């Protein structure tokens, strides 16, 4: 049993109590954020903001700049999405409904992927962080997350597909990097995201939207 525990959490011996506590806070609020997203609730954003603030600090300490950029972007898109989701008509009904991507969205997503991939690669080159094979995968997951968060802000159901793919890639990636708690978080997020996609799909098919 001790061997299993050491295998999973040995890297945490080098972390301070504050860092471990902050990662737990990020894990809890990150999980809550995805749960609220699956429920199509605006609370996805305030809980997500708390999680991203915690992770931005930690990722800076860990020098994981690709993941830091993702969370900084999450913070910005959370503010943007919060504003969009808060808009209501004269009858106080939510204006932004769940919908599917169109041709314009496809082009925008292609642009987001290209720009984010070039930007993150530039950051890694500047800080000389292309020293491990996972740096290249970080670039991919960052681009996927950028697309997913933009689609979430627009309440597009396809956001789940991009985020699920990014989460699945992140599970072993964070474990290899030595951040077991974050790896567990992404496993949880993947499961919740699958249910979130199915829930949004049912809502879209039934054309039932929350007031």
pLDDT in tens, 145-178: 899 999 999 999 999 999 999 999 989 888 887 7
Would you list the DSSP string of 128-154? T-TTSTHHHHHHHHHHHHHHHHHHHHT
Q: Bigger pLDDT: 91 or 74?
A: 74
pLDDT score of 75 more than 80? yes
Q: Evaluate whether 139 touches 117 at the Cβ level (below 8 Å).
A: yes
Q: How far is Cα of residue 1 from the mean position of the Cα atoms in its chain?
A: 32
Question: What span, in angstroms and rounded, lies between the C-alpha atoms of 73 and 48?
Answer: 12
Cα→Cα distances 211→27, 32, 87, Å: 30, 21, 11
61: nearest Cα among 91, 23, 25: 23
* Exposure b/e, 107-127, CB count within 10 A at least 16 = b: ebbeebbeebbebbbebbeee
Q: Is 185 helix (H, G, I), strand (E, B) or coil?
A: helix
> Which pLDDT score is estimated for 76?
92
* Exposure b/e, 70-85, CB count within 10 A at least 16 = b: bbbbbbebbeebbebb
pLDDT in tens, 123-149: 778 777 777 777 788 788 888 989 999
Question: What span, in angstroms and rounded, lies between the C-alpha atoms of 81 and 149?
Answer: 9
Q: Bigger pLDDT: 84 or 90?
A: 84
pLDDT score of 61 more than 90? no
Q: Bigger pLDDT: 107 or 95?
A: 107
147: nearest Cα among 98, 121, 116, 109: 109
pTM score > 0.85 for this model?
no
pLDDT score of 121 more than 90? no
> Which pLDDT score is estimated for 1?
54
Helices (H), the chain: 2-9, 17-38, 44-62, 65-86, 103-126, 134-153, 159-177, 180-206
């Amino acid at each position: 049993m001790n061997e299993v525990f050491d295998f999973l959490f040995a890297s945490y011996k080098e972390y301070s109590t504050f860092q471990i506590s902050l990662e737990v806070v990020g894990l809890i609020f990150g999980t809550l954020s995805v749960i609220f997203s699956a429920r199509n609730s605006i609370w996805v954003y305030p809980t997500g903001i708390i999680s991203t603030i915690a992770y931005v600090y930690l990722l800076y300490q860990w020098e994981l700049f690709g993941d830091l950029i993702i969370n900084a972007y999450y913070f910005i898109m959370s503010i943007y999405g919060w504003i969009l989701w808060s808009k209501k008509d004269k009858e106080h009904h939510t204006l932004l409904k769940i919908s599917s991507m169109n041709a314009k969205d496809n082009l925008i997503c292609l642009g987001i992927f290209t720009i984010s991939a070039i930007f993150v690669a530039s950051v890694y080159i500047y800080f000389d962080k292309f020293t491990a094979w996972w740096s290249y995968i970080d670039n991919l997951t960052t681009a996927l997350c950028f697309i997913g968060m933009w689609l979430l802000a627009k309440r597009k159901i396809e956001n789940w597909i991009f985020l699920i793919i990014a989460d699945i890639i992140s599970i072993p990636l964070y474990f290899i990097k030595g951040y077991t708690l974050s790896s567990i978080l992404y496993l949880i997020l993947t499961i919740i995201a699958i249910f979130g996609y199915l829930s949004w799909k049912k809502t879209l098919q039934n054309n039932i939207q929350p007031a």
